[in-house]
Structure 1
Amino acid sequence: MSADIHYATVNFSQKKPNKEVLRIQEGDTTTYAEVKVSGSSDSPSSIDEPVTDKIIGEQAPGALQRRVVKLRWVFIILALLCLVLVITFSLHFNTRNTCPQLWRPFKSKCYFFSTVEMNWSLSQENCTAMGGHLVIIESEDEQEFLLQEANITQYWIGLTDSEEEGAWHWVDKSTLRDPKFWGERNGKKEPDNHNGNEDCARLNTDQGLKGWFDVSCGRNSKWACEAQVKNIKL
């Protein structure tokens, strides 16, 4: 009796063999079968995982960190802008609204208008005691403000030529440079040094006698002080 022999083609992988040969023998008949082996030494997850997802996953923490840094700078800039606005508003508010009671605000200063009368020297001493001085008028706006606030009253201002006749100086020792606010009496321009002893200036608000007039320093009159907010003594 002759034996039947069957052959099957067997392929072997060079890298990672995933096939095995099964030898089956029954009696005189020998059969070779090709068997595929599923799986490998590598974990399935490492084979199936997409390469692009892995790269994105590795890059994500760095991108997130850069985004956080940008947002942090945005918040810092916004905080600085808010701080500038708060400081600006505070300065504006302080200039206009923090003058003490009985003092009236104008631009960067506060002004006090007395209700009692004194001579020029005592008026200046009282202004100094309150942290200021008799008003020094430096602009047309300030002149108009004083005229309105004075309300048809006469007030001493911080201008005198008591040291040298005709050489008018403010109480801070600065020289009078613009004489345009001097008033006029009976068609004659002030100062006129009437009777030879008018060495101090007074602000008149009467419609007929409006402006500055030189008056005897010993006369009693109301007085107007000016001061910076921080210097005022209550």
Structure 2
Amino acid sequence: MSADIHYATVNFSQKKLNKEVLRIQEGDTSTYAEVKVSGRSDSPSSIDEPVTDKNSGEKAPGDLQRRVVKLRWVFIILALLCLVLVITFSLHFKSINYTCPQLWRPFQSKCYFFSTVEMNWTLSQDNCTAMGGHLVIIESEDEQEFLQQEANNTQYWIGLTDSETEGKWLWVDKSPLHDPKFWGERNGIKEPDNYNNTDPNGEDCARLNTDKGLKGWFDVSCGRNSKWACEAQDKNIKL
């Protein structure tokens, strides 16, 4: 006896598209279904999906290249940030010297000593030399400000003199004075001025004053006694 055969036909009202006939066989029963489906012929995989390798599932080379470019920029930005941090820390620690001995005060790459006793200019320089340094040579506005703050309303010899040639001011290392802007002023008269000079040799040595009324450098007789300020590299200091 032959098996029963059933037919089913489903029709949709959409536009005509590809026609598929599916045949399903199960045992002795055969079922035929004729299905008409209308719509776009685009396959689902073609709608806004990244192109992939069907075998490996990896993204297409174009997408990988974009990711590589993005990662490259991330590394560049991180490198720049690291460079900024390195420069910032180096500048910060450059202004601090932790190796200065006791009683010496650090500033930038040098150590400074401020005496508590008074001597004339020549003996003051000799004492600085014996400790491995010399009377301070002021090379910048920052250094001048540091010395004024540390001096705290006290007068200190500095390493500047015109004892060899009047009017030609030299530092103790024989370098000439290039910037006279730190000379003070007394009674409206700019220093150096040989004020009230009673020394036949003149006022040939410079002293740092930090008083509010008399602030800056002033020429003074080298034979007068005053406190003194030394500077030295930490490795040269003799204790």
Taking the aligned partners of 2:223 and 2:100, their CA distance within structure 1 comes to: 31
> TM-score scaled by structure 1?
0.60
Distance 1:102 1:161, change over 3 A: same
- Say which SS state the counterpart of residue 235 (structure 2) adopts: helix
Instruction: Quote the offset at 1:215 in angstroms.
Output: 0.1
Corresponding position: 1:172 with 2:173? yes
Taking the aligned partners of 2:218 and 2:144, their CA distance within structure 1 comes to: 14
Contact 1:192 1:214 in 2 (8 A): yes
Deviations 1:57-108 (A, max 9, x none): xxxxxxxxxxxxxxxxxxxxxxxxxxxx9xx98xx48952110000000000
Structure 1 residue aligned with 2:82:
none
- Runs of 4 or more off by more than 6 Å in structure 1? none
Which AA in structure 2 matches 1:146? Answer: L
- Say which SS state the counterpart of residue 158 (structure 2) adopts: strand
Instruction: Quote the offset at 1:154 in angstroms.
Output: 0.1
Structure 1 residue aligned with 2:213:
208
Which AA in structure 2 matches 1:217? Answer: C
Taking the aligned partners of 2:118 and 2:169, their CA distance within structure 1 comes to: 23
Deviations 1:180-222 (A, max 9, x none): 0000001100000232610000000000000000000000000
Taking the aligned partners of 2:139 and 2:104, their CA distance within structure 1 comes to: 19
Distance 1:94 1:205, change over 3 A: closer
Taking the aligned partners of 1:118 and 1:106, their CA distance within structure 2 comes to: 24
Corresponding position: 1:230 with 2:235? yes
Corresponding position: 1:97 with 2:98? yes
Runs of at least 5 residues in structure 1 that lack an aligned partner in the other structure: 1-84
Taking the aligned partners of 1:149 and 1:123, their CA distance within structure 2 comes to: 18
- Say which SS state the counterpart of residue 97 (structure 1) adopts: coil
Structure 2 residue aligned with 1:127:
128
Taking the aligned partners of 1:119 and 1:175, their CA distance within structure 2 comes to: 22
Higher Rg: 1
Structure 2 residue aligned with 1:13:
none
Taking the aligned partners of 1:132 and 1:106, their CA distance within structure 2 comes to: 15
- Say which SS state the counterpart of residue 149 (structure 1) adopts: helix
Name the structure where helix makes up a greater proportion of residues.
1
Distance 1:215 1:98, change over 3 A: same
Contact 1:155 1:224 in 2 (8 A): yes
Taking the aligned partners of 1:225 and 1:214, their CA distance within structure 2 comes to: 18
Q: CA RMSD in A?
A: 2.0
Distance 1:144 1:94, change over 3 A: closer
Taking the aligned partners of 2:108 and 2:156, their CA distance within structure 1 comes to: 20
- Say which SS state the counterpart of residue 104 (structure 1) adopts: strand
Distance 1:93 1:100, change over 3 A: farther
Contact 1:95 1:109 in 2 (8 A): no
- Say which SS state the counterpart of residue 146 (structure 2) adopts: helix
Taking the aligned partners of 2:149 and 2:96, their CA distance within structure 1 comes to: 20
Corresponding position: 1:117 with 2:118? yes
Taking the aligned partners of 1:203 and 1:137, their CA distance within structure 2 comes to: 10
Deviations 1:93-125 (A, max 9, x none): 895211000000000000000000000000000
Distance 1:206 1:119, change over 3 A: same
Greater shift in the superposed pair: 194-203 or 96-105 = 194-203
Instruction: Quote the offset at 1:143 in angstroms.
Output: 0.2
